[in-house]
A and B are shown apart, each in its own frame.
Chain A
Amino acid sequence: MSGYVEGILVILLLNVVFAYAVYWPLAAGQLNLGVAGFVGVGAYLSAYLSNEYGISPYLACIGGGLVTFVFALIIAVPVLRTKGIYLALATFALGQVLQSLFLNLEVVGGAAGYPVIAYIGLTGIAVIAVAVFLVTAFLERTRFGLNMVAVHDDEAVSDLFGVNVRRYQALAFAIGAGFAGIGGGLYGHHFSYIEPQNYSILFSISVVLFVLLGGTQTVLGPLLGAVFFTLLPEVLRGSEEWRYAIFAVFIIVTMILRPQGLVTTFELRAVRRLFGGGGGGGGSGLGRRAHG
């Protein structure tokens, strides 16, 4: 495999992990604009663990993800008191505060950045990215996933039917943050260097953009969004300087023509019918989420 292809694959897989970090809260109706902050928490924690204590980088990444998960679960208590646009703004503020915290933490280099000694290659990243996808797809099919969809579609009715709305909202927020933390750890260990500038609001915005481009009705949407976002600029490489402008036009046109994203329940059902699955797949996790 050429270095070029490998480099793109790594970025693609990392984008998949980040996509599910944004997808989880979105699936419960929360727009998280602070995902970069959680990515940073995971990146710095895992880098610190593997640098200072010589822990295996894989364990450090998972550990970083777990701590990020717990951190998000705690921070979810005040954050989830807000709703809608206020929630999006609270996560935005949280992301900014976390970024400036990294900037002022001299233990991990502050503005100068923090080198990471241990290395994780393509294979390691691939295994974890696939795991993140499979965990998401599995959880979607369980009762847990069903409750999540219910909370997204109508909080009041789910509450009436005995779903603990707050718990599912907090879990969706924290699972997303945990994935973000793992992704951050992988990023740091692959590129051997992390700095606060990596974790800006623009990072959060672009992940949110490609997840919504892919669509949040199904578990495949974010995957497609990540593939699209990573590969489109490469395809457009001939027109180097125009690629982000073209990407932007693509987003605007998609939101006009297909505000629900590229993949929806409708396409998945059509594909299943084509392969003889028929309507019998109603219990399947994929394609179950109602629109909205």
Chain B
Amino acid sequence: MLEQQLVNGLMLGGIYVLVAVAFTLTIGILNFLNFSIPGVFMLSGIFTWVLLKAGVYWPLAILGAIFVGAAASLLVERCTYSWMRSSDHYVPLVSSMGFLILFENLVLVQWGSDLQRVVLPFSDLNLRFASLVISIPQLLSLVLAICLVVGLRILLQRTQMGRALRAVAENATTAEILGVVVSRLVPTVFIIGGLFAALGGMLFALNYQQVHPFMGEEVALKGISAMVIGGMGNVWGSVLGGLLIGVIEVLSIHFFNADFVDFSVYGLLLVILFLKPTGLLGASGIVREKF
């Protein structure tokens, strides 16, 4: 059933979109590949499971999980960005990788490495169009992802804060001279990015009903690929890239086998990097200039 696979691919892509947007925000505005995002994604997924298991009313549980993710992202900002400006470009990358390992192993110590089943508080509902089956939570997460991206675009283009963020992306020093309080904006970027990643992790836990300490890695690697394929720092590029990768992944399994997924996804990434490093929709000006 090809149509069904395409639908599944788009739904999976919705999760990648959220993670890719989280990556593209820090790289577009702060010029920093934030490797702690898989950790934030995982923390939120794990906390969704923990809170639901503890019997917390489900809307509170998902809010709590997202809060934990955003807080973790803020912690990363406190310990990396303040020290990164004067050093080599890979130093913040390295300390954010340190945070990924830290988060994963703290969860490992606390809850073990087993795959945990998330029991949903509501019965799984499916929509049926002719022979197509669409799960409502998955559809909601795709719609939510697109809405949030539209919201983010409006925030960046129309508001005072968005103007300040774009100024920082253009040139942090000049923005500071012109009166933008950079030290107050940077945490905002991390919190917004953390919210996107945390939302992705929470939705992943609800949609696929399983969590474990390393669940963030594979999703985040695909998210990074989605970001590059669409165009680094370009929010709509992340949407296109995320959906594209979701579909490619599902089609690779459909036509070949599961072992073939990485080959096609990362092969595409490699080809894009060789032929058009700015991605399908073009990277934002800041990234293009600096690299």
Contact = CB atoms under 8 A, between A and B. Distances in A.
B262 A99 contact: yes
Interface string B267-285: 1011001100100000000
Contacts of B224: 89, 92
Interface in A189-239: 201-202, 205, 208-209, 212
Contacts of B266: 93, 96-97, 100
B109 interface: yes
Contacts of A256: 79, 83, 95
Contact of B98 (A99, A103, A252): A252
A255 B94 contact: yes
Interface in B237-291: 259-263, 265-267, 269-270, 273-274, 277, 287, 290-291
A245 B106 contact: yes
A268 interface: no
Contacts of B265: 96
A212 B94 contact: yes
Contact of A93 (B106, B108, B273): B273
A247 B225 CA distance: 28
Given A81-B274, A255-B95, A104 B90 contact: no
Interface in B65-91: 79-80, 83, 87-91
Interface in A99-122: 99-101, 103-104, 110-111
Contacts of A249: 98, 102
Nearest to B89: A84
Nearest to A84: B291
A98 to B, nearest CB: 9
B27 interface: yes
Contacts of B98: 209, 248-249, 251-252, 255
A241 B106 CA distance: 9
B99 interface: yes
Given A104-B260, A249-B102, A251-B94, A241 B109 contact: yes
Nearest to B275: A78
In the complex, which of the residues A85, A202, A249 has the most CB atoms of chain B within 10 Å of its own CB atom? A85
A292 interface: yes
Contacts of A292: 88
Given A97-B262, A97-B267, A255 B91 contact: yes
Nearest to B256: A104
A85 B270 contact: no
Chain A interface, DSSP helix/strand/loop, else mixed:
helix
A31 interface: yes
B259 A90 contact: no
Given A248-B102, A252-B102, A103 B291 contact: no
A247 B261 CA distance: 32
A208 B291 contact: no
A54 interface: no
A82 B279 CA distance: 13
A173 to B, nearest CB: 15
A97 B259 contact: no
A256 B79 CA distance: 7
A115 to B, nearest CB: 20
B102 A100 contact: no
A259 interface: yes
A251 B265 CA distance: 31
Given A89-B273, A90-B274, A255 B80 contact: yes
Given A86-B291, A93-B269, A245-B106, A255 B33 contact: no
A103 B105 contact: no
A83 B289 CA distance: 11
A138 interface: no
B254 to A, nearest CB: 16
A251 B97 contact: yes
A266 interface: no
B170 interface: no
A144 interface: no
A97 B266 CA distance: 6
Nearest to B103: A248
A272 B91 CA distance: 28
B94 A208 contact: yes
B94 A244 contact: no
A292 B100 CA distance: 25
A252 B267 contact: no
15 contacts: A81-B277, A82-B273, A85-B232, A89-B269, A96-B221, A96-B266, A96-B269, A97-B263, A100-B261, A100-B266, A251-B101, A255-B91, A255-B92, A256-B79, A259-B83
Interface of B: 27, 33, 79-80, 83, 87-95, 97-102, 104-106, 108-109, 217, 221, 224-225, 228, 232, 259-263, 265-267, 269-270, 273-274, 277, 287, 290-291
